[in-house]
Structure formats: structure tokens, C-alpha cells
Structure 1
Amino acid sequence: MADQATGTLERDASRRVALVTGGSRGIGRACARSLAREGFDIAIIYAGNREAAADCVQELSKLGATAKAYQCDVANSAQVNDTVKAIIADFGPVWALVNDAGINRDGLLARMKDEDFDAVIDVNLKGAFNMIRALSRNFVRLRGGRIISISSVVGLSGNAGQANYAASKAGLIGLTKAVAKELGHRGVTVNTVAPGFIKTDMTDKLPEKTVKAYQAQIPMNRLGSVDEVGDVVAFLVSDAASYITGEVIRVDGGLSM
């Protein structure tokens, strides 16, 4: 179910390839942008917003990257397998996987519907599992590579009204550590980045009073930016981070200390 939004596959085969899920918006887009600046060609996976995906591919192209967008439901393993095959056929081996695709269906525990719990786990946790599994042979053949999953500080500390989301993000940490142990002997590093309160389209819709209340809990007294998360991902993908694996890197201004 691969779908090209825009872009070209005429590329320098010596450039490494990164695959970013949820790459058309927010933190995922910032990760793709940071990696493009570091000389990566980029495949992004998006759920449904074709316009945002096309705009992202155009932005990445202006940064010198060969980029292409693929529509895929990461919770659907068959779609993931087909999309990964298409990406490898288009780009060649994938050096870095960034799992950012995620949703939230917040609500109090007693009132949470089964479908809301299941949907969040399926996209946020199973989606990352599906992507890692589909690319595992790719990494084994490369005898190297990077896997980064975007968790959250709520996966470390929990949060009222987010039992499903917190569980999915905590699950990513356990998944990261297990895969790090499985693939470490193949030269693959596997890490998690846990953002705190990051300024996004979602936070822009919150009342100013709510934002200030959250900000007051942050030692650095400000919200983080998506680019600050993206730059940490770019570091973890780089050769400079070749001996870091199984870690959870918080990008939260000290919120979860």
C-alpha cells in the first residue's frame, strides 16, 4: 500500500537512508528534517494526510535529500511488510528507523472504551514492533544500523487520564531494551527518546492557562521544540553514538527528574 506523494528516487547510493514513521508532522517531521541536514535520504510513512506528506517531502528535497512518502497503517503488519519492501526496492538498505507514529485517545480509566485502549496500543506500540520486525533482516544483513523509538516522559512517570498512552510509551521502552539485546551483536543500536512537554500543533490549541501550568513544572521554565527532539535523534543515529544502546534519553527540560 505504498503511495508516493512527491519526490524523486534519483539518488547518490553512497548516502545512508532513514525511514521515519509519522514523518509528515510534528516531532516526526523534525526528525526527518534533522536527518536530512546530516546527509540522509528519507522515506517517510504517513497515515492519511497526503498534503502534509507532500509538503514534508518538498521541504526535505530543499535540504538536499532524496525523499519519498508512503501511506501506511503501521498497526497493520501486512501493510507494513509491503511498504518496507517498497521502500527497500526504491532506496536500497535502510540504515536508520525512527518510530514516531503515534495517537492518543485520552480519558479516565473507568470510562475508557476498549477500542480507545486498543487503538493506542496498536499504533504506538504494535506499530513500532511491526516496523522493527519488518526491517530486522535488513539490519542483520547490514551488520549495523540504528533504531530509535519516540516514547514520552509519561511512559516513565505515568499520567492521569492517559492509561493507554502511558502504557504504550512504557511498552516502547521495554521493546527497545529487548531488541537492543537481540541485535547488539549485529552492530545495531536501539534507543528510545522520551520527550516532555513539546510545542506542537496540539499544544497550540491548549488554553494559555493550561500551558502556563505545565510550564511552571519544568525546571527550564519553557516548552521544548520539535527540533530539539529531532537533533537528539540525529545524534543517536550518527556514528558518534555507536556505543549507546538500550538507553532512554529524556528531552524534557528536567520535567521528569
Structure 2
Amino acid sequence: MSLLLEGKRVFVSGGTRGIGAAICEVFAREGADVAFNYNSRDDLAETVKGKIEAFGRKALAFKVSVTDRVGMKRTAREIVDQWGGVDVLVNNAAVNKGDNFATTTDRSWDWVVDTNVNSLFAVTKPFYKMMIRQRAGTILNITSIGAIRALPTAVHYATSKAAMIGFTKCLSREAANFGITVNAIAAGIFDTDLGNTLPERLLQVHEGWVSLRRLGHPNELAEFAAFMVSPRNSYMNGEIVTVDGGTVT
């Protein structure tokens, strides 16, 4: 059987850690050339690039914030110059902070909402316009079960991820006119730096909520994401698919 993503050109936001790094590696294994952005860790970026290239695929790394609209436009143009376009966009970058709502500061709220919500505009728009010109493309957004289930997670994070669900559903209707699909994965709690920002009390009771009795591994979500954006999943649009180990609330 052929590779899921043979010859596809992919951009992943937040590609050096956790789920983003796993997506970069799995997508490359499945035949994709992968570009990604990161904020600060050049060493992690080189590691991810090396893993992509180990599968014989092309890799591009861009040190630019997902909230930098000018920088993201520049990134998209450079990818077009080198690869001719992008077939798949994965909006993965996110931040969280273990705040109670009563003690959440203005700075904390703005940081989470800016990174998790405003970045959707900054990152998606240049690639979306590219896909419109191509009359084809796939967008996958990584949201959270915290947006749809009453978990004791930070309110700003849950709010930002709920916004991503609305973004996914609404954009999917418009995008379909241009041969573009837009879907999302609502991720449970995974063993990542982001997952470990959750309050200790939440992590301690997590096993009681999840039928599989453990945290998810980043590659488990990445494997499913590869199918989600592949041509074998061409009839799904506007859907939010939960991958959370069977969380019951």
C-alpha cells in the first residue's frame, strides 16, 4: 500500500515539541515534505529537521512566532518560492497556564488567547489564500477536549480552544467552495510539555476519567492526524474528532 502522504507539502505550526514534533516525524515517514515554525529552541528545530530528512524528505524550519502576521506571510512566501505551494496546514501551536479564573491576570489571559486564537488568523490566512489559488488543500486544527467537556482546566485555555472549534466549523463551509477541507482533532491529555502545565490535581485524577488509564503518547495522535489529512479521508469536512483515550465526564 502506498504512503498516506506521498508527495504532499505540509506546514505545521509549533513543530519542535510534543504533538507538533510527532506530527512532523510521522508525516515525513508517510511521504510528506514538512515545514514548521518554532519560537526559540534552535537545537530542537535541528533535531526535528534531522528526523524529517532521515526519511528522505525535505524539511524547512522557520524561527517565527505564530502571532507575527508579517512573519507568517513571509514564511508562506518562502515556502512557495522553494516548494511551489502547500497542500496541508496543521494549526498545532498552543500555550497554557495553570490559572484559576479568579487569579488569572490580564497578561496571562492575553498571552493564551493571542497565541491560541489570534494565531489562527496569522497562520491560516496566507496558506488558505495559497490553497484557494491551488483549488485544493487540507487544514487540520488541533483543539482540546477542554473546549467541549467540563474539565477543571484553565478557563482561558478552554475558551481559546472552543474558539478553534467555531473557526473550524465556519471556515469549512467557505473553504469547501475552493476544494479545501477543514477539520479538527479534540485532543485529550497527552504526555507533552503542554500537558504537564495542567494543575497537578488534574493530572492526579486523570486516570479516573480515562478508560485507557494513562496519558496519550504524542505519536498516537500524530498517526491519526496523518490519516485525517490524507486523500483517504477526502469526504470529511467541518468535523471535530475526539482522541482522548475514552475520557468520561
Tell me whether the two structures share a fold, i.e. TM-score over 0.5: yes
Q: Is the 8 A contact 1:105 1:117 kept in 2?
A: no
Residues 1:82 and 2:53 aligned together: no
Misfit runs of 4+, over 3 Å: 158-161, 201-212
Q: Which residue of 2 aligns with 1:232?
A: 224
Q: Is the 8 A contact 1:152 1:196 kept in 2?
A: yes
Q: Which residue of 1 aligns with 2:53?
A: 61
1:207, distance to aligned residue in structure 2 (A): 10
Q: Which residue of 2 aligns with 1:163?
A: 155
Q: Which residue of 1 aligns with 2:107?
A: 115
1:210, distance to aligned residue in structure 2 (A): 6.2
Q: Which residue of 2 aligns with 1:147?
A: 139
Instruction: Output aligned runs, 1:1-257, within 5 Å.
Output: 15-201=7-193, 211-256=203-248
**CA distances 1:170-220 after superposition (whole Å, capped 9, x unpaired):** 100000111101111211110111111112245568899864521121012
Q: Is the 8 A contact 2:91 2:140 kept in 1?
A: yes
Show structure 2 runs of 5+ residues with no match.
1-5
**What is the rounded CA distance, in whole Å, between the counterparts of 1:158 and 1:126 in structure 2?**
24
TM-score in terms of structure 2 length: 0.92
**What is the rounded CA distance, in whole Å, between the counterparts of 2:187 and 2:14 in structure 1?**
15
Tell which deviates more after alignment, 231-240 or 81-90. 81-90
Tell which deviates more after alignment, 82-91 or 47-56. 82-91
Q: Which residue of 2 aligns with 1:10?
A: none
State the aligned residue count.
Answer: 244
1:131, distance to aligned residue in structure 2 (A): 1.2
Aligned pair in 2 of structure 1 residues 157, 210: CA closer, same or farther (>3 Å)?
closer
SS at 2:235's partner residue? coil
SS at 2:148's partner residue? helix
Tell which deviates more after alignment, 94-103 or 71-80. 71-80
State the identity %: 32
Aligned pair in 2 of structure 1 residues 222, 90: CA closer, same or farther (>3 Å)?
same
**What is the rounded CA distance, in whole Å, between the counterparts of 1:256 and 1:87 in structure 2?**
42
SS at 2:107's partner residue? helix
**CA distances 1:18-62 after superposition (whole Å, capped 9, x unpaired):** 000101110001111111111100001111111101110001110
SS at 1:199's partner residue? coil
**What is the rounded CA distance, in whole Å, between the counterparts of 1:160 and 1:206 in structure 2?**
9
AA in 2 matched with 1:191: N
1:15, distance to aligned residue in structure 2 (A): 2.2
Tell which deviates more after alignment, 34-43 or 199-208. 199-208
- Root-mean-square deviation (Å): 2.0
Tell which deviates more after alignment, 206-215 or 120-129. 206-215
Tell which deviates more after alignment, 49-58 or 153-162. 153-162
**What is the rounded CA distance, in whole Å, between the counterparts of 1:144 and 1:84 in structure 2?**
16
Show structure 1 runs of 5+ residues with no match.
1-13
**What is the rounded CA distance, in whole Å, between the counterparts of 1:209 and 1:131 in structure 2?**
34
